[in-house]
Structure 1
């Protein structure tokens, strides 16, 4: 007996409709979550306001130069490997997060290698002090001890104690609690006794001063939180674990820049069936009342188009997600008052420049350079507390062409230097202050001999101020890293990845738990994916 095509179709097993997801923003957090949601069986669309992916990790090409606009430090490459290993309908949310055994730094990454090439960077950072001396910060204990003995011999024994105590914080705070979503107070309270015992809730700088007497060593072992928007004078000492995160897995660079990693994530996401739309800014998150709950139903684009979905996720700025995209009537927890009173991280002046190489005057710089000014604590108080521009500055100078010459025309270097500045709560007029600060910074790099003759060797120069973060990246007050990671905005007190106000609305990225930084936003994506799986009854290993 023959049957028609219609009859044949009716005999096929019933296939339930795939759930749909909309992600606002294609930053590293949004792309990481997109990959995970596709692996969970969702049909996911990422909506990007800009003309290319990346968000803060946007990459710019101009005059033959390639500039990463934002993050440049890549660590914990196993997080990247895990994303590239995921398959459609093959979620692995409960797989071991931090496998033991083998070399963590040099572990094989077969899936990553199909998409992007990661190379280790050593030293991690060259840290220059104002007196001209420097410290090469890396994961080599022998090298670290030798340098401490040369610069601050009085702190050698203190370093051994720091290794012991900061290592214990790393074990508990990162390896054990790293993927814990503090969605309720009891979850946090269970962790508090251990953190108190480890002295991890005092400020990082005061924690560091317990072990180091020399101001140079105090700076070396506390500066890293500035790279995630945190003031060492006020972030909790749990961030001492950053030293061990970097020492354990190393610092890496993606050939082609961080933009190459972003493009690799896009490729993986699209291979899994995901879709990205550019020039698709979101004006509103659409909700509907169901019983006593408000439920996310989709979004409205800036052009007026409305899109429906089963879940909505914001990889955008936490404050502006609630203040600008959700009616205040549906916001009981994330109210205007709460959001506006939440301290935001500092902002940045970032100068992107290209210059001619000079074989007769080779650069003494390294790939990553921290150039500290004459003041440390005072400068931090001015940036974060008083919100003023100081008489001096510190900076992070990134010269990727020392590793990857293809980012610049032959015989040239591409670089950027990043200067921490107050966010726009300062009231500073950056159309005036921006050019003045750029001149000071570039002049200092030339006059102090970091890049001799820089003024005459320049072939390209551009910069962004806090106004770029406020206007182009839509960050509240022009913050560069989301809510400031002080103790009162950590763990349970940091914005939750599952909205308390709207069902099926989620957050991911720097504004959510656990916080800012490339590895943290990838961890945030896994946290959020777990919450989605829980809410939709999806087994963490087998998609139903």
Structure 2
């Protein structure tokens, strides 16, 4: 027997307000809930996990707090504007601190490149590796800024669900050579192969192949230079928790350990959700922060799709998978003094390794690693005197032919990762380990319901971006909206926060009964 929930606490004055249900308490879903609450909706957020934040949540083990997903904040004004639109002050709720340097890149030949906010220092870094590339760096910065204003501030902060919107911007796309890949654009500006890597790898942070993703994504270099890279004390989890507090102060409700089984339609419109236990929640508006593939293939499985059919989803290109090793070390706070907040360790291969991951679906013997050491700035992540790390290795998703059997490969691969770390970055690591947890693409599939265990949903290639990406307003049902990494404008913290900004432009103001 189904049961309709009538027990949700409602803020005085919102008893008769239209009800909005948000599926998923990731950063996109929480942002959407805040914006709908500010509009006057009575909002209920549902999430199957035990913490808010989705892929940006955290876990504890032996006194170590592991940030499971994003580790940095870029474009912090999107968060400040979100808070301001809700009548709140972001900086009063979250302690956000600039990171300088942003990260250090290391190559097998011993050379390094340190990215920082100071343009003159960046020029000096470029000159140290390749004096002839300084002029190219200056041109690259101008290229990046132009794409920021068009790609982020223009396209990224408004809906792109109408074909006419695409037609209007095609000339600008052509002028900016959006058909060229990020790597190809970097190769036009830099002769040194190391610098080509240093200024083209950023799409990997949002699940894209630098050799195939549109060059619009070089805008990240402008983001870093203009707005800096920041760390939230308490991790991104602290941002998610602050969002939940705003929602509750607005009269909304966040329900954890709550799994949504299906979006319910009536007369072609979303009218609520059914939970896995059979409970039905009625709604005037439904917002899905679940992966777009899961939304259309599973949550709308009993309804014929006009655009996002199973066949179309099967033809989509998905972002790579992620192997993430979270580990703690005992008595190492003063050890490894040359290892900062963020370090990138490169394989001797760049193009070949990326091709193995994205095209061949092959788990290579070599690897490139992203290492996060938050304990250098945040003492709350580990017991006193100890360190907390996570190391991320891009790997193939599970949708390739002959996918990796992670049930048998997870520990051997972790050991390979540890060996690389001990050789190149953290000598003696094995003697200090005090906590360990591994996430593989299997984890992303099962924990986050991510199709193929992809780390960042649909890959942001040019024909899977803007109009071609799942829209924020669904064409499959009235009253159904989508936010998060798999929708427009895309993955990454600024992208998912902006998806809720677009949503607020599309959802009508509530009409009270």
Coarse TM-score class (shorter-chain normalised): over 0.9
User: Where does residue 27 of structure 1 map in the other structure?
Assistant: 26
Is 1:468 aligned with 2:467?
no
Is 1:502 aligned with 2:477?
yes
Is 1:260 aligned with 2:260?
no
Instruction: Determine if contact 1:443/1:455 at 8 Å carries over to the other structure.
Output: no
More moved, 218-227 vs 150-159? 150-159
User: Where does residue 102 of structure 1 map in the other structure?
Assistant: none
For structure 2, the residue ranges without an aligned partner over 5 or more in a row are 1-12
**Match of 2:171, SS?**
helix
**Match of 2:456, SS?**
coil
Q: CA deviation at 1:85?
A: 2.2
Q: Residues 129-528 of structure 1 correspond to what in structure 2 (within 5 A)?
A: 129-289=107-267, 294-358=268-332, 361-426=335-400, 427-448=403-424, 450-528=425-503
Q: TM-score, normalised by structure 2?
A: 0.94
1:466 & 1:176 partners in 2: Cα distance?
34
**1:356-394 Cα deviation digits (max 9, x unpaired):** 244774421111111111100000000000001112000
Q: Residues 33-112 of structure 1 correspond to what in structure 2 (within 5 A)?
A: 33-87=32-86, 111-112=89-90
**1:383-434 Cα deviation digits (max 9, x unpaired):** 0000011120001100000011221011110000011001111321001111
1:16 & 1:416 partners in 2: Cα distance?
45
1:40 & 1:15 partners in 2: Cα distance?
11
Instruction: Determine if contact 1:169/1:200 at 8 Å carries over to the other structure.
Output: no
More moved, 390-399 vs 324-333? 324-333
User: Where does residue 9 of structure 2 map in the other structure?
Assistant: none
More moved, 342-351 vs 359-368? 359-368
**Match of 1:266, SS?**
helix
Aligned length: 499
Instruction: Determine if contact 1:330/1:502 at 8 Å carries over to the other structure.
Output: no
**Match of 1:130, SS?**
coil
**1:309-345 Cα deviation digits (max 9, x unpaired):** 0011110111111111113533121111111111111
229 and 15 in structure 1: CA distance in 2 versus 1, 3 angstrom threshold: closer
User: Where does residue 101 of structure 2 map in the other structure?
Assistant: 123
376 and 537 in structure 1: CA distance in 2 versus 1, 3 angstrom threshold: same
Q: CA deviation at 1:16?
A: 9.5
Query: Could you say which structure has the larger radius of gyration?
Result: 1
Q: CA deviation at 1:349?
A: 0.4
1:57 & 1:380 partners in 2: Cα distance?
25
1:237 & 1:34 partners in 2: Cα distance?
32
Q: CA deviation at 1:519?
A: 0.7
More moved, 163-172 vs 402-411? 163-172
1:146 & 1:340 partners in 2: Cα distance?
47
1:428 & 1:359 partners in 2: Cα distance?
35
**Match of 1:287, SS?**
strand
**1:231-270 Cα deviation digits (max 9, x unpaired):** 1011100001011012111111111111111111111111
**Match of 1:232, SS?**
coil
